[in-house]
Amino acid sequence: MKPKILITQPIPESVTNYLKGFFEIECWEQQETIPKGILYENVRDIQGLMNVGIPINEELLSNAPNLKVVSNISAGYNNFSIEDMRNYNVVGTNTPGVLDETVNDLVFGLILSTARRISELDSFMRAGKWQSGDDSHLFGLDVHGRTLGIIGLGRIGESICKRAIHGFGMNVLYHNRSRKSDIEEQLGITYASMDELLSASDFIVLMTPLTKETHHLIGEKEFAKMKNTAIFINASRGPTVDEQALINALKEKQIFGAGLDVFEQEPIDPNNPLLQLENVVLTPHIGSATTFTRENMAKVAAENLVEILINKNYKNVVKEFKDKLHV
């Protein structure tokens, strides 16, 4: 008898067909999030869960007595309640490496759009405001040759450093929980304290995972240390930033602008003041959202289920479970 899995969102047909060779499958085919009642009913007899964003906590796990593995279609896993999962002998996997360059593309899209005011000036043009005469009020900032400060030097952070150096001739500073001397030597980047990075960088990119330690890592004090010509980019997780402090910094022109793909509340509240500010570029958490990359992420997440449930090979298990590889 094949193990049973639940997929909580639509995935490419090619990936579904692959999984059918190994599992009995239940799949939520609607675009909206699966309702909690339906979710809990469907997890009662599954061994694997393929998921994006749904909290994996005691409430869910208590309804899933046979669950062995949760496979996130994501590099992030802040939806995992690690202690609860460990208590229930459930491991979690992710999809590292698949989305690095795609997220990198978006980060530089946000950098360029914010620095050169592309979104703002697009609206300016569409409103028929372009007239002959002095155009100094339309000036933006150069990107090439400037200093990029990156907070969080994981896989995506390293990718961003390479693009900054080789694509834009930028000087790169980084701050990370642990110093990476080998990467410094390989890429020619410089380690800096948080204060040094904030005060010296023209572009500050936040790429840390969301943990208790990184919640509101960037707030009022950090924005006050940035140049008034600095641009802040967040493509990590929304709660890593004190959003009200960011709004104040943008309103008071403490910084030049911001580019954001993530927010404290998602989807964003229609009354959020960020939506009214011209010096911020906003995208709806689409860092990895290209057809090619999302299909590859789903494929890797599917392979993770096969490797663990069928082959007993613990592939892409997130680090918090690697000392407890039994299910």
| HSE (side-chain half, CA atoms, 13 Å) at 201 | 30
- Which helix (H) or strand (E) segment holds residue 147: the answer is strand 147-151
Q: Looking at the annotation, which residues are catalytic? A: 237, 266, 285
Q: What's the CA gap between 150 and 147, in Å, rounded?
A: 10
Contact 230, 107 (CB under 8 A): no
Can you state the angle between helices 291-309 and 13-20, rounded to 10 degrees?
10
CB atoms closer than 10 angstroms to residue 323: 7
Q: What's the CA gap between 184 and 316, in Å, rounded?
A: 26
Q: Are strands 257-260 and 147-151 parallel, antiparallel or unpaired?
A: unpaired
